[in-house]
Copies of this chain bind each other. A is one copy, B any other.
Amino acid sequence: MTHNLQNQQILLAKRPTGMPTMEHFSFQNAPLPHPEDGQVLIQTLYISVDPYMRGRMSNEKSYVAPFKLNEPMNGRIVGKVLQSKSDQLHIGDKVVGMLDWQKYNTADINNVRKIDENGAPLPAYLSVLGINGLTAYFGLLDIGQPKEGETVVVSGAAGAVGMITGQIAKLKGTHVVGIAGTDAKTDFLKKELGFDEAINYKTTDDMSKAIAASCPNGVDVYFDNVGGSISDDVMNHLNDFARIPLCGAISSYNRTDGDFGTRIQPKLIKSRSLIKGFIVGDYSEQFGEGMRDLSTWLAEGKLTYKENIVEGFEHVPDAFLGLFSGDNLGKQLVKVSEE
């Protein structure tokens, strides 16, 4: 029975300039949606919050459309089927998909994917077995193409994508150096994830020198999640024919003063390096292959992941804002309901 369920949504209340705050979000009660033929009603269990959503809060053309003002924000959600008007999904099934930030969604069954609950705990489908794992997998392997014995540097290394990237790079037999912003993170990367070296950029005076020391054979692959001056420093040490998968530029997302630096083109010419922006959706036709490898590595104990899960729908905005403070270690999720 669903007739006494109260739906609630999180709307984009205002477009931020610079760092977003709570005033840019609003909560609102809403009617419970009703599934039509070919649809299911889904109860939200876990919500993923991700840095790229900052871009969607602005009204700029990008690879995903901006959020609309005074409408629900959306993102990757794991939920449970409460009603089904399809033969292909049943009550109690767990699913993952792009859904609105609300407690209950309806969705066409083609827009969600059923989760194999034997594979891993549900939150993993929003991190290592979800978009973050696939982002690391395709960015590193397709663009980065690491070869055994090469050196791979990962910025934002303790983030949801970075920590998977570094581990896949280790599986490929490379020397892996992570860059992160707290000692807790660098310790975690080295002691728990097997990174060869990790640099705390907040306590390191001369990053360029520290990168040189950690990468005695230069940098062959730089998986870039952050942009800004950290990337400038890494790019001083590119080997010939280096590859730079360009995944994110979190250092720039909330800037209002312009993001200036030394132009990188001369560094790219001297080393004949490649840099390529990408989003995971570019690889959607190969997701099956990526999921197979990630699931296998996870089952074999070759991949470790870490989530930071806060409880309560009301905490979605602050969990999102926390991404920009640099404190989170691993994937940030919000648990909305019990499984």
Contacts and interface: CB of A to CB of B under 8 A. Distances in A.
Contacts of A53: none
Interface stretch (A30-38, A120-128, A176-184, A260-268): A260-268
A227 interface: yes
Given A273-B276, A275-B275, A263 B228 contact: yes
Contacts of A240: 63
Given A260-B260, A265-B246, A270 B62 contact: yes
B231 A252 contact: no
A143 to B, nearest CB: 9
Contact of A259 (B61, B228, B231, B263): B263
Contact of A265 (B227, B265, B266, B278): B227
Interface string A246-286: 11110010000011111111101111111111110010000
A197 interface: no
A107 to B, nearest CB: 26
Interface residues of A, number: 35
A154 to B, nearest CB: 15
A139 B263 CA distance: 21
B282 A266 contact: no
Contacts of A231: 265
A252 to B, nearest CB: 5
Given A231-B265, A265-B231, A277 B271 contact: yes
B277 A252 contact: no
Interface majority SS on A: helix, strand, loop or mixed?
Answer: mixed
A272 B52 CA distance: 14
A254 to B, nearest CB: 12
A252 B262 CA distance: 11
A268 B272 contact: no
Nearest to A253: B266
Given A63-B272, A240-B63, A272-B63, A266 B279 contact: no
A224 interface: yes
A277 B241 CA distance: 9
B63 A266 contact: no
Contact of A276 (B264, B274, B277): B274
Given A63-B240, A63-B270, A227-B263, 12 more contacts: A228-B263, A246-B265, A249-B266, A252-B265, A252-B266, A259-B263, A260-B260, A261-B263, A268-B277, A272-B282, A274-B275, A274-B277
